Structure 1
Amino acid sequence: MSGSIKDFAALKSLRATIKAQEEARKAAEEERQRREKESRRDAELFRRSIGDVQPLSPSGKAEANVERPLPIPKQRMADEQAALEESLSDEFNVDTLLDTDHELSYARPGISGDILRKLRRGHWVIQAQLDLHGMRRDEAREALGEFLRNAVKRGVRCVRVIHGKGLGSVNKEPVLKSKVRSWLVQKDEVIAFCQARAADGGAGALVVLLKA
């Protein structure tokens, strides 16, 4: 008898659950239908409020073709500015900046005379050299600028620039000698220079001290 009562109670509970689920589905369906009805009504009211819509006819006017400004070549401008700053003039008058001794030495303003004396005595070891023999003026100027830039990048302090004595030039005049001195004075990397000692090339070369 006890088992029958339990089965009946379980059946009653199941029926109640099914009924509740059915009512929930019915309520959800009624809510969905109500919202659809409201949506259709709102759409109809909107169409009535704006009336019939006609597409715009072509105006016949051409659309303005606005050209975009070309991008500013900032990198090229920077490269050109750097090249301008590094350019060396052949017309630069270096005579007034050189010492009046027979070696025509040079020290940048603010550099003590002791630096130049040490340079003449070979205080710094020559770490690199550039030989300009056989080069035309333009070639020599470009080669010198590149040589000095690379030397500074590598941390080289003292270099030798061989310009020759002019024995193979027209009229036996050292064409590059005065030009090289003029170019060196214009380079910010150069602190001082002097004629090389006899063992290092003498009158045919310069020993150059660069910024640390």
Structure 2
Amino acid sequence: MNHSEDNDDYNAFLKEMADVTPVKRKILADIQKSQAVTPGQQVRKAAAEDTFTDPNFLSLLNPKMVKPHDFLVWKRDGVQEGVFKKLRLGKYEIEARLDLHHKTGKEARESVFQFINDCREHELRTVLIAHGRGEKSNPPALLKSLLYTWLPQMEAVLAFHSALKFHGGSGALYVLLRKSEREKLENRERHAKRTLHGTI
């Protein structure tokens, strides 16, 4: 048999086999069973993903419950009384506002976390958060209680106080935020200059 006959036979073989699909090798191990995820595994997986990928550490569980008409007052150690008094009396300019009315706890959690971080990034110092009194929520004052629990957990927050009546009264909070590192440096430089001029 010469080469041309070999080629003819091979080409004829290829032509015959053109429509044939290869048989898939049967997998003996039952891998479907191991891939099926139980409800318990799904819950654990979701919890693990939340822990590792969500930078928002605010929790919806076990807020410190307050009443709808309670006035909320809180400040970190080191906040001067004069500064806190000005905040309480609404004497600082409100640089940004967040309205939580009609939001769920989950939506409020996202909004508060984002709002405080945005304000910090833009070097805002005094902001207003309107949360409502929650007289009809179940339990009453839920958003207000969540906010009362969350804000002290946020490093950027120095103090808060329920607002004056024209800003929402016990349904809103004045919130004082930390100075940025840049603002602190500028303050130190100004103070140093004043001290220097005072000694000349």
TM range (shorter): 0.5 to 0.7
1:44: which partner in 2? Answer: none
Instruction: After superposition, give the CA deviation of every residue in 1:106-137 in whole Å (9 maximum; x if it has no partner).
Output: 11122222221110112210011111111110
Select the residue among 151, 163, 166 that pairs with 2:119. 151
Select the residue among 149, 156, 180 that pairs with 1:189. 156
Q: Distance in 2 between matches of 1:193 and 1:112?
A: 13
Matched, 1:208 2:175: yes
2:57: which partner in 1? Answer: 87
2:84: which partner in 1? Answer: 116
Paired residues of 1:90 and 1:182 also in contact (CA < 8 A)? no
Moved over 3 A (4+): 80-84, 90-95
* 3-state SS of 1:159 partner: strand
1:61-100 matches, within 5 Å, as 83-84=54-55, 86-91=56-61
Identical residues among aligned pairs (%): 35
* 3-state SS of 2:128 partner: strand
Q: What stretches of structure 2 of length at least 5 have no aligned partner?
A: 1-50, 180-200
CA 1:148–1:82 in structure 2 vs 1: closer, same or farther (change >3 Å)?
farther
CA drift at 1:181: 1.2
CA drift at 1:174: 1.7
**TM-score of the aligned structures, taking structure 1 as reference length:** 0.53
CA 1:92–1:158 in structure 2 vs 1: closer, same or farther (change >3 Å)?
farther
Paired residues of 2:73 and 2:160 also in contact (CA < 8 A)? yes
Select the residue among 105, 110, 130 that pairs with 1:137. 105
1:54: which partner in 2? Answer: none
2:165: which partner in 1? Answer: 198
Select the structure with the greater relative contact order (CA < 8 A; seq sep ≥ 6): 2
Paired residues of 2:72 and 2:160 also in contact (CA < 8 A)? no
1:174: which partner in 2? Answer: 141
Q: How many residue pairs align between the two structures?
A: 126
1:161: which partner in 2? Answer: 129
Instruction: After superposition, give the CA deviation of every residue in 1:33-68 in whole Å (9 maximum; x if it has no partner).
Output: xxxxxxxxxxxxxxxxxxxxxxxxxxxxxxxxxxxx
Paired residues of 2:133 and 2:170 also in contact (CA < 8 A)? yes
Amino acid at match of 2:119: A
Larger Rg: 1
Q: Distance in 2 between matches of 1:156 and 1:176?
A: 23
CA 1:93–1:179 in structure 2 vs 1: closer, same or farther (change >3 Å)?
closer
CA drift at 1:105: 0.6
Q: CA RMSD in A?
A: 2.4
* 3-state SS of 1:207 partner: strand
